[in-house]
Structure 1
């Protein structure tokens, strides 16, 4: 088990997976309904590579304050993540900063790169909610949001991943909420209109059997964001959470190879 430290930035709980002498910083931006603690294995890979890793629980998620899974404005969440990056840089000044965003976290990380891209050395997006994602519009058209939580089987072919997700008390197992769906729609539009990220290196990871966030919709957003310069890795048979998939060792290896290519030194 990787060592973990806990921080509190006002309402936001932050995990730190420390490194005694890091050569880079990584901020992990988790997805909808979950929490940063689910990325312990990825953090172990990254600390093994020489990173100090930080992961906030977004407002309304995990150990952070707020009504469960209610995000009124993703711009505020981007601001929270920026404060976490500041915490990391204050502890370890002068190091390159990499952001890894999964799913909803990919939307947040993409918007972060539009707002604060000059502070980043690389961006990794996993199953990102950018481009075209039809689910919020479909649900908002209904008079009542159905109480149909995310199916654990949609996350990974590894049944242990689904079982752990279903049993995790820090995961939200109820319906999506209207303010959050409305915020998704607004922020998808904001990112679409927010411009590219210039020369910032971008690695896009996706499972080709991702039914929660289909890769065809994300591709539109990735191409718009990176202007055709993204490194793309689509994993055959993989579902939504490539970092928790049966072939996650190959996913981890792609991340490390990408960082080797793009980071200074």
Structure 2
């Protein structure tokens, strides 16, 4: 068998066309299915190197672009309800399983792993945890009023992008990337994300599956204390918080990202 990569599209329950990619490993016995979910304003192909690394580690890998992201249908970086992303991911999971079982030539272990980057983790497992700081609380009041009547207004600023990474090469590449969103966040999306963040801590007792949370020691976009508190509070007995020294929010894109990739595969191999 040879390794293969395929791209295509599937429909969500709202009849929107969403882009996806799949990667089949060069093996007759795959270790299982990995579904990767990207972050807000991003797209799946931005993490192609990680997807190919997982494929080469003998996993079948699927990833898709959220509605309004990358090559998927919809207004750029906009969705009416956060639950739309959760619903779309559920549809994609079913699609990936069916497509994999009908097209992969070898046998596949009965494992399904979700890897979510930032919003990607929040959208399905709600494993991201960001506190309502004063600035977010003020925005929440404003957005609560505006989102009902002017949902597509884009007035909510994003975080300082220098908090994403100190690597100027990555920042320059962001400027030149046509698929990366560069608009301010809309009122509706900001409110939906704030609500999702608020509900995360209330749902952590529902998490019983094995969980690995990767956190960079230089993380500046989210509260590291809240992430630690979240991991401590989830119900799963198989949980691990791995702090990577010298890494920030865009750890999957740093020049020394191989360390992150290796940590992911080591954990996968043990599960």
Question: Under a length normalisation based on structure 1, what TM-score does the superposition of the two structures give?
Answer: 0.82
- Which of structure 1's runs of 4+ aligned residues deviate more than 4 A? 141-152, 226-229
Distance in structure 1 (CA, Å) of the matches to 2:76 and 2:231: 29
Deviation of 1:149 after TM superposition, in Å, equals 5.1
| Residue of structure 2 equivalent to 1:9 | 10
Displacement of 1:160: 2.5
1:72-221 pair list within 5 angstroms: 72-93=80-101, 95-111=110-126, 129-134=128-133, 136-141=136-141, 146=155, 148=157, 151-221=160-230
Q: Quick one: structure 1 residues 52 and 229, their matched pair in 2 at CA, closer, same or farther if it must change by over 3 Å?
A: closer
* Residues 6-52 of structure 1: per-residue CA shift (max 9 Å, x gap): 12112211121222543211111111101111111111110011111
Structure 1: segments with no counterpart, 5+ residues: 112-127
Aligned to 1:119: none
C-alpha distance in 2, partners of 1:207/1:220? Answer: 16
**Change beyond 3 A, Cα 1:133–1:6:** farther
**Structure 1 residue 189, shift from structure 2 partner:** 2.7
Distance in 2, matches of 1:216 and 1:204, equals: 13
* Larger-gyration structure (1/2): 2
- What are structure 2's unaligned runs of at least 5 residues? 12-16, 102-108, 144-152
SS of corresponding position for 1:180: helix
Matches within 5 A, 1:228-247: 229-247=238-256
Structure-2 separation of matches of 1:180 and 1:171: 16
Instruction: Flag the 1:237–1:223 CA change in 2: closer, same or farther, 3 A.
Output: same
| 1:215/1:175 CA distance change after superposition, 3 Å | same
TM superposition score normalised by structure 2: 0.80
On the 8 A contact 1:131/1:221 being kept in 2, the answer is no
The correspondence for 2:25, drawn from 9, 19, 22, is: 19
Q: CA RMSD in A?
A: 2.5
1:64 to 49, 59, 72: 72
After superposition, the Cα gap between the structure-2 partners of 1:207 and 1:59, relative to the gap in structure 1 and judged at 3 Å, is same
Map Cα deviations across residues 152-188 of structure 1 (whole Å, 9 max, x no partner). 5433343332222221111111111110111012212
Aligned to 2:232: 223
Deviates more, 1:53-62 or 1:83-92: 83-92
